[in-house]
C-alpha cells in the first residue's frame, strides 16, 4: 500500500514535483514544525558558507580554479596547497591527492567536519597537495560556455558524461597546474563509479593516476536499497514528465519527500534526516553521526544533479548491469552507440591499482554488489570491510579519520617511499 502511495505521489505531475530549476530541495519541513535537533541552526556559521569559505574558516589556504570540459561545462575546483596555519607550506613537491565527491554532493563533503576529522584538512596537514573536484550539475558546476543553466540541453547528462569529460578535464588540469605527472585519487560513491569507468577506458587518465582509493564503491547497484530503489520503478514516468515539461534538474517536492521518508526512515533516524534526500538514498548510522554537524551537512547537500543522472542510476538497478544510459529504444540506442543496447562498462579492465573501503550496512553500495565488484576488479592493492558502516560514514563518520583516512594516508606514504627507493 505504501509503495502504491509513492507511485501516486510521484505520478501526479505538478502536485508532486516542483517544476523549476535549481537542484534538489534541501528540506521538506513545515515552517511551523522546526526539528528539535536544529534549534541552533542559525548559530553555526558554516551553514551559510560556500566551500571556499569553509576552508578559510578552518584556517587553511585555498585556491579556486575553473576547469572547462571538452564539451563546455565550467567546473569549479578547490585546492588546499598546505596545512592549517602554514603547516607544510615550505614542503616542495608534495604528493597530489584528488578527492571526488559522490551522488548529489559537492566538494564540501571533504571539509564539513571539524578540521581534525575532515579528509581534505587531514591530508593538507599531512603535507599533501589537496584538490577537491566538482561535477556538472552540482552547486559548483552550473556554468557552461554556451548553454544557459535553465536550458534543457544543459541538463542532458548522466554519470556517463562525468566520466568521459569532467574527470579527465579535472585530472589533466591538476597535473598541469601542479607540474606533477600523476596523482592519487580518492572517490566516494559516484566518485568511485566515474573512476571505475575512466580508469578502464581512458589511457590518458590512467597514466596520470598512481592509485585509486574507492570509498563506498559503486558500480552495479543490483541490491541497492533506500529511496533510489523505489524511484527506480518510476524512472520512465519521471523522465517522461520532465521531458514533456522541459525540466531537467532533479527536485523532489515536500509530498514526494514525505512518502519516501515513510518508506525508508527507521525509528532510530533523527527526524530532520528524513527531510534530506541524500540521507534517504544513503541511510544513516546514528552511532557514527556527529549530530551537532547535521545543520552543516544538510545545508550543503543535496547539491544537485540532473533527472537523467538519477534515471541512469535507476536503469542500472533495474537492468542489473553497469552500463551506459539507455535511450529507451533500439533505434535511439543504435543512433547513439551504433548498437541496439547500451554498452556495458567493464570493471575487469580497470588498470589503476585500487583499494576498496566498504560497509556492511551500506544501502547504496550494497555489500553483495561490492563482493561482485571485488571478484572482477584487477590490480587490487587491498580492501577494508567495516561491518557496521553505511554509505555516508565514509565522509562524515566520527571514526572516519582513524579507520579510513589515516589508513589511506599510511598507504600513500608507503607507496611514495617505495617509489623513491
Question: What amino acid positions are annotated as catalytic residues?
Answer: 189, 362, 391
For residue 64, report the phi and psi dihedrals to the nearest 5 degrees: -105, 135
359: part of which helix (H) or strand (E)?
strand 354-359
How far apart, in whole angstroms, are the C-alpha atoms of residue 313 and residue 306?
A: 11
Q: Which residues contact 51 (CB under 8 A, 6 or more apart)?
A: 78, 106, 107, 108, 111, 132, 140
Give, rounded to a whole angstrom, the gap between the first and last alpha carbons of the chain. Answer: 64
- Cell numbers placing 392: 555516508
List, in sequence order, the alpha helices (H) in 104-253.
119-125, 159-161, 167-178, 190-201, 203-206, 226-232, 235-245
Length of the chain: 421
Say what angle helices 2-11 and 254-264 make with each other, to 10 degrees: 160
List, in sequence order, the alpha helices (H) in 116-189.
119-125, 159-161, 167-178
- Cell numbers placing 358: 566498504
Q: Report the alpha-carbon angle 197-151-146, nearest 5.
A: 75
- Cell numbers placing 140: 559548483
Which of 192, 238, 211 is closest to 345 using CA atoms?
A: 192
Cα-based distances in Å from 179 to 59, 129, 140, 361: 26, 12, 25, 40
How far apart, in whole angstroms, are the C-alpha atoms of residue 208 and residue 173?
A: 11
Which of 350, 341, 251, 265 is closest to 304 using CA atoms?
A: 251
Q: Let me know: does 166 contact 194? Beta carbons within 8 Å.
A: yes
Burial class (CB in 10 A: 0-12, 13-18, 19+), 372: middle
Amino acid at each position: 500500500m505504501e509503495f502504491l502511495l509513492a507511485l501516486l505521489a510521484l505520478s501526479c505531475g505538478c502536485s508532486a514535483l516542483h517544476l523549476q530549476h535549481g537542484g534538489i530541495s534541501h528540506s521538506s519541513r513545515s515552517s511551523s514544525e522546526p526539528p528539535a535537533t536544529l534549534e541552533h541552526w542559525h548559530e553555526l556559521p558554516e551553514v551559510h558558507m560556500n566551500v571556499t569559505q569553509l576552508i578559510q574558516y578552518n584556517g587553511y589556504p585555498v585556491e579556486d580554479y575553473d576547469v572547462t570540459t571538452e564539451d563546455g561545462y565550467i567546473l569549479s575546483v578547490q585546492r588546499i596547497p598546505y596545512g592549517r596555519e602554514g603547516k607544510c607550506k615550505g614542503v616542495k613537491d608534495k604528493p597530489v591527492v584528488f578527492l571526488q565527491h559522490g551522488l548529489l554532493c559537492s566538494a564540501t563533503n571533504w571539509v564539513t567536519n571539524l578540521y581534525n576529522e575532515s579528509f581534505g584538512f587531514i591530508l593538507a596537514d599531512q603535507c599533501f597537495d589537496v584538490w577537491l573536484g566538482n561535477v556538472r550539475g552540482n552547486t559548483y558546476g552550473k556554468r557552461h560556455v554556451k548553454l544557459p543553466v535553465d536550458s534543457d540541453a544543459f541538463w542532458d547528462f548522466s554519470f556517463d558524461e562525468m566520466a568521459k569529460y569532467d574527470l579527465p578535464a579535472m585530472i589533466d588540469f591538476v597535473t598541469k597546474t601542479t607540474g606533477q605527472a600523476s596523482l592519487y585519487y580518492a572517490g566516494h560513491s559516484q566518485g568511485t563509479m566515474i573512476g571505475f569507468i575512466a580508469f578502464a577506458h581512458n589511457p590518458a587518465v590512467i597514466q596520470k593516476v598512481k592509485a585509486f582509493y574507492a570509498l563506498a564503491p559503486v558500480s552495479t547497484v543490483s541490491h541497492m536499497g533506500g529511496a533510489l530503489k523505489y524511484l527506480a520503478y518510476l524512472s520512465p514516468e519521471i523522465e517522461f514528465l520532465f521531458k514533456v515539461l522541459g525540466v531537467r534538474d532533479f527536485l523532489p517536492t515536500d509530498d514526494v519527500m514525505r512518502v519516501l521518508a515513510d518508506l525508508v526512515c527507521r525509528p532510530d533516524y533523527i527526524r530532520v534526516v528524513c527531510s534530506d534526500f541524500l540521507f534517504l538514498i544513503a541511510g544513516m548510522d546514528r552511532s557514527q553521526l556527529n549530530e551537532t554537524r547535521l545543520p552543516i551537512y544538510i545545508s550543503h547537500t543535496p547539491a544537485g544533479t540532473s533527472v537523467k543522472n538519477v534515471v541512469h542510476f535507476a536503469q542500472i538497478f533495474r537492468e542489473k548491469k553497469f552500463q551506459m544510459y539507455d535511450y529507451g529504444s533500439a533505434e535511439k540506442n543504435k543512433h547513439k552507440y551504433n548498437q541496439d543496447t547500451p554498452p556495458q562498462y567493464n570493471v575487469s579492465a580497470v588498470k589503476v591499482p585500487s583499494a576498496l573501503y566498504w560497509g556492511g550496512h551500506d544501502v547504496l553500495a550494497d555489500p553483495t554488489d561490492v563482493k561482485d565488484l571485488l571478484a572482477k576488479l584487477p590490480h587490487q592493492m587491498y580492501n577494508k570491510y567495516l561491518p557496521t558502516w553505511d554509505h555516508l560514514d565514509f565522509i562524515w563518520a566520527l571514526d572516519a579519520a582513524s579507520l579510513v583516512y589515516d589508513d589511506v594516508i599510511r598507504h600513500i606514504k608507503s607507496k611514495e617511499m617505495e617509489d623513491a627507493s
